[in-house]
Amino acid sequence: MALNLYEDKGCPLDRQRFTWKELVQPPISKLDDDAFTRVRVILMNGIEMEANRFSHACARMNRDLQLPLAQVRIVEQHQATMVNGLLGADHSTLETTVAYEQVAIEITAVVAQNEPDPYLAQVYRFGMLEDFHHLYRYSAMLDRLEGKDANNILQCYTDIVPGRPTVVEHRAPQDNLREHYHRAGAAPLTKLNALTIMSSEQQTQNFYLNVGPLYADPVARQLYAEIASIEEQHVTQYESIIDPNESWLEKWMLHEANEVYNYYGCMQQEPNPRIKAIWERCLDYELGHLQVAMDLFKQYERRDPAEILPAELPEPIKYESQREFVRRILNQEVDLRALGTQFVDKSREGDASRRYRADVNSSGSPTDTVAAGYQWLPGTELVRGKELPFNEELARDTELIR
Amino acid sequence: MGKSTISGKNRTGIDMSPIDAKEMMALVRVSPPSSAGNEQAIAERRSQYFAEAGVIGSVPPPGTLKGIASTAMEKLTGKNPEAFIDKLGCRLAFERAGVRLYDALIAKCSAAPANSIVPLDRLQDFRNEELEHFKLVENAMRSIGADPTAQTPSADVDGMASIGLVQVLTDPRTSVAHCLEAILIAELADNDAWQLLIALTEKMGMSDMARDFQNALREEDEHLAYIRQWFRQMVMEDAAVAS
């Protein structure tokens, strides 16, 4: 990776500013932009939301850091505003939800393959299969409530079939905690991966909690309630893999480095020039934030940031369909369950999770209801029996556009 | 007027990804649904909630009976004034929202460089007439002791139904034709609702009020006719088939 964290200092914090017009820019096109542009928008909003939550928590515990945290935080607040505003209002809430699940599947799949720690790679694969199933359930809801095809959002990058059934994803809290990486020995990529996926899942949990009540339909509300509950488990899982012994300043530095890492990947792969310029600007600002955090780390901890951060960051997340990997994992690992911090075959699942699940599912599972007998078809399930024909000749031409 | 509908890189359909689409379909064919049944399961779960649900809200009792013409009270005796007040409140809210829809349409048309079909002064007249209708219903409600500042259940539900219209009219990316279609939906519903309200008002014995409402309906007829015509003309021109 060309970026050097110790030489590329970015835009100094005191020169970072926005106008309201810059914060509210034209959104991406739901119809014409590539689905991975939307994936990047959603992921980066999640990264910014975590930056904000972390910064507030840090400020509450560290009087001396409150001013620099506030100075960085207001810029990140505005970055989050600018990024999240790129989603157009022609997305219904369920369409945005489908896009959130595409983020969870595709990004977690890449991370699972890049992760050098085999145990953590397993953790990511485990979570990914659950989000994969959520996509299937939400696609059924979108079809059966709004009469829309989820593939209009997914653009054929992501499959729409069952994964690990949501009804068996509910677990006792002790089965949602995992072992954490060790700050002294873990690879930088391990730390960035954990922050990225934890941020994304946390955003999803918050989103589902907030938007579920926007629907009048009690079935849709139940669906969001059930899946939000799994997302809470996912946040519990992913935050537990991060070493709790890292100092506040170490964590702050890692957050800023992770923002640099992810904005760089977005900028590098974005085909829409207007959105690419936004990623570039945010990258420049985040490099400035990292400088602030590194200076404070040196000042307060009397340590060299190079103990924590390499000069060059790892290869960025690849924004491309992970279909083959996801299918392989689906085939091999759908029957895994969690027992404490470990993963076991479903026949060895513990009593605590079984009991918890029996209680929470005792009045039925909304996700089962929503997707009863559901099989995705291009153009929604209402075309069943008269599937739309492919136009091979036209399709060959249009494939070139992508 | 230039074309507002253009050809481009729309990526939403399967013809854009023929190889991936075939892959997806192949997997679907060998992946049974994860739970048995069909969409009837959703209907059954909704039915349980319907059976347990309360109402969306109530019509407030008149704030004061003092000052209400005794003739009005006599006319309402033996009938259900709440149902009447609910529909009056609904019309009031719709007309008030209509002012805002026209404000948004005027802004859209003012900024559209190629708009030669929709005259802004006519839109301004329609907007002002919606405002007059709002005030007309406000006075009507006061005359029977109802509180015109309260949101009645039908007004609330109409507001739910109209959320999408507001979104279409204020999205910078929508065309004048898209916005005319949204206003047309509003005017069609409005026109029908005035006719129903007039019939209801007459049945309630409020003939003077019904006459006033007839005048409003005549203006609404004109709104509907013009909006329908402008929308039609724009669609035909866009398709290059206008005569």
* pLDDT tens per residue, range A66-120: 999 999 999 999 999 999 999 999 999 999 999 999 999 999 999 999 999 999 9
pLDDT 10s digits, A354-377: 999 999 999 988 988 999 999 999
Q: Which of B95, B94, B102, B204 lies closest to B160, judged by CA?
A: B94
> Measured between beta carbons, which residues in chain A are less than 8 angstroms from residue B42?
144, 219, 369-370, 372
pLDDT surpassing 80 at residue A399:
no
Q: What pLDDT was estimated at residue B3? A: 59
DSSP letter (8 states) at residue B123: H
User: 3-state SS string over A304-357?
Assistant: CHHHCCCCCCCCCCCCCCCHHHHHHHHHHHCCEEEECCEEEEHHHCCHHHHHHH
Residue B28 CB partners (closer than 8 Å, separation 6+) = A159, A160, A161, A375, A376, A377
Please report whether residue B58 resides in a domain.
no
Q: What pLDDT was estimated at residue B70? A: 59
Listed as ranges, residues in chain B with pLDDT below 70 are: 1-3, 63-71, 73
Shortest distance, CA B27 to any CA of chain A (angstroms): 8
The span from the CA of A118 to the CA of A112, in Å, is: 9
Q: How confident is the model at residue A400 (pLDDT cuts 50, 70, 90)?
A: very low
> What Cα–Cα distance (Å) separates residue A381 from each residue in A144, A377, B34, B211?
9, 5, 15, 51
CB A174 within 8 A of CB A233: no
The span from the CA of A195 to the CA of A199, in Å, is: 6
Residue A74 CB-density burial (10 A; 0-12 exposed, 13-18 middle, 19+ buried):
middle
Q: What pLDDT was estimated at residue A386? A: 57
> Measured between beta carbons, which residues in chain B are less than 8 angstroms from residue A400?
none
CA B130 to chain centre: 13
Q: What pLDDT was estimated at residue B153? A: 97
Please report whether residue B6 resides in a domain.
no
pLDDT 10s digits, A310-341: 999 999 999 999 999 999 999 999 999 999 99
Please report whether residue B217 resides in a domain.
yes
The CATH number of residue B98's host domain is 1.20.1260.10
Q: What pLDDT was estimated at residue A398? A: 43
Contact B18 A399 (CB under 8 A): yes
> Measured between beta carbons, which residues in chain B are less than 8 angstroms from residue A133?
34
Please indicate if any CB of chain A lies within 8 Å of the CB of B243.
no
Please report whether residue B89 resides in a domain.
yes
Residue A206 CB-density burial (10 A; 0-12 exposed, 13-18 middle, 19+ buried):
middle
Percent of chain A with pLDDT over 70: 95
Please report whether residue B128 resides in a domain.
yes
Residue B153 is part of which domain span? 78-238
The span from the CA of B206 to the CA of B214, in Å, is: 12
Please report whether residue B148 resides in a domain.
yes
> Measured between beta carbons, which residues in chain A are less than 8 angstroms from residue B35?
165, 167, 365, 368-369, 371-373
The span from the CA of A175 to the CA of A177, in Å, is: 6
Q: Chain B 87-126, CB below 8 Å of chain A: which residues?
A: none
Q: Is B2 left (phi over 0), alpha (psi -120 to 50) or beta?
A: beta
Q: Chain A 17-76, CB below 8 Å of chain B: which residues?
A: 26-27, 30-35
Please indicate if any CB of chain B lies within 8 Å of the CB of A151.
yes
pLDDT surpassing 80 at residue A344:
yes
DSSP count for chain B of H helices, then E strands: 8, 0
Please report whether residue B70 resides in a domain.
no
Please report whether residue B67 resides in a domain.
no
Q: Chain B 19-38, CB below 8 Å of chain A: which residues?
A: 19-25, 27-28, 31-38
Q: For the beta carbon of residue A17, count every other beta carbon within 10 angstroms.
A: 11
Q: What pLDDT was estimated at residue B74? A: 72
CB A130 within 8 A of CB A230: yes
Q: How confident is the model at residue A264 (pLDDT cuts 50, 70, 90)?
A: very high
The span from the CA of A308 to the CA of A298, in Å, is: 12
Phi, psi (rounded to 5 degrees) for A11:
-80, 125
> Does the structure's ipTM exceed the value 0.85?
yes
Q: Chain A 196-225, CB below 8 Å of chain B: which residues?
A: 216-219, 222
> What Cα–Cα distance (Å) separates residue A192 from each residue in A203, A210, A220, A256, A286?
17, 27, 34, 10, 15
Domain count, chain B: 1
Which residue has 């992913």 as its token pair?
A: A238
